[in-house]
Chains A and B, each alone.
Chain A
Amino acid sequence: MLKMFDIELFLTTIVFILLVTKTKLHKESSMSYQETMPYREKIAWLSMLAMLFTFGPYFTLVASGYFPAKPMPDLHQLAGYAITATLQVTLLLVGHMVLRRRNPQDAKLPADERDIAIKQRSVTAAYYVLITGMILVGVVMPFTSSGWEIVNSALFMIVFAELVQFSMVVVGYRRQAG
């Protein structure tokens, strides 16, 4: 019985290998990575790029001294931050809408065990970055700095932690790409 099964399996394997190049399975495996990219990886890319395109220029301006030090509340600086945040939210909204329209089926699917595992790993890594940043900003910086310097440092650490999280999600999916 077992031998019969083995011969059967052997023959079917050969047929399978011969036919696989012409089957739908081959088409599936030859799809480009972009076509098969998980929806959640696309969302991670979108979030990462939206953050880089908005907070990248903002922190470049802050570092270059574009906002001169003024007593709190510095409305000029506050406006700079508000514009950046609004731009980021707009980019995210438009990006989510485009992705949902392009992948309506994938967008509806709930997270599976692999999605959850990747998310957990990325959140854990980002947590360590965030907690280190918050200790530096909230405990160390008040002795040496004040006002917007502390606010911007805290914002930077939050943005950095988020970037770590999104990067970890992308790396997680890329490593396990089929």
Chain B
Amino acid sequence: MKGSLSNNIRLLRFLQSEMTQAELGQRVGVTRQTIAAIEAGKYSPSLEVAFRIAGEFKLPLEQVFQWQAE
């Protein structure tokens, strides 16, 4: 099934006192560039990293990442 993964990370970072990509990356164990690629929708993270990111924002996974089927 074709589709695309979108996310609200950029907005959520803004809401978390302008958390930088580097800070988020450090907290979830990936590089700043990987966070940038995830935000831009150019890289789909593993489930583990997706859960870690959602955990950082204290939100359930589906409020951070959304799957849109075509």
- Identity of the chain A residue whose Cβ is nearest the Cβ of B15 in the assembled complex: A12
Q: Name the one of B11, B33, B43 contacting A13, with C-beta atoms under 8 angstroms.
A: B11
Contact call B15/A178, Cβ cutoff below 8 A: no
Give the interface size bracket for A toward B: 20 to 34
B36 touches A114 (CB 8 A): no
Cα A113 to Cα B53 with chains together (Å): 14
Choose among B14, B32, B33 the residue that contacts A20 (Cβ–Cβ < 8 A): B14
**Contacts across chains A and B counted by CB atoms under 8 Å:** 66
Is the Cβ of B13 less than 8 Å from the Cβ of A25?
Answer: yes
Q: Please determine whether A178 and B14 come into contact, CB atoms closer than 8 angstroms.
A: no
Residues of B within 8 A of A175 (CB): 42
Q: Which of A143-161 contact B (CB under 8 A)?
A: none
Contact with A along B23-56 (1 / 0, CB 8 A): 0000001111111111110110110010000000
* In the assembled complex, A36 has its CB within 8 A of some CB on chain B: yes
Bound CA span A112–B43, Å: 13
With beta carbons under 8 angstroms apart, the residue of B18, B29, B30 that contacts A24 is B18
Q: A178-B37, A178-B39, A178-B40 are in contact. Are A112 and B30 (CB under 8 A)?
A: yes
Chain A window 30-42, contacts with chain B (Cβ cutoff 8 Å), 1 for yes, 0 for no = 0000001111000
B11 near A115 with CB under 8 A, answer no
Q: In the assembly, what is the distance between CA of A37 and CA of B37, in Å? A: 11
Residues from chain B with Cβ under 8 Å of A106 in the complex: 31
Beyond A114-B33, A177-B42, list 19 extra A-B contacts (CB 8 Å): A13-B11, A23-B18, A24-B18, A25-B10, A28-B21, A39-B31, A109-B31, A112-B30, A113-B30, A113-B34, A113-B45, A115-B31, A175-B42, A177-B33, A177-B40, A178-B36, A178-B38, A178-B39, A178-B40
Chain A interface (Cβ < 8 Å from any Cβ of B): 12-13, 16, 19-20, 23-25, 28-29, 36-39, 106, 109, 112-115, 173, 175-178
Jot down 23 A-B pairs with beta carbons below 8 A, ordered by A: A16-B14, A16-B15, A25-B10, A25-B13, A25-B18, A25-B20, A28-B21, A28-B36, A36-B36, A106-B31, A109-B31, A112-B30, A112-B31, A112-B34, A113-B45, A113-B49, A114-B33, A114-B34, A176-B37, A176-B43, A178-B35, A178-B36, A178-B40
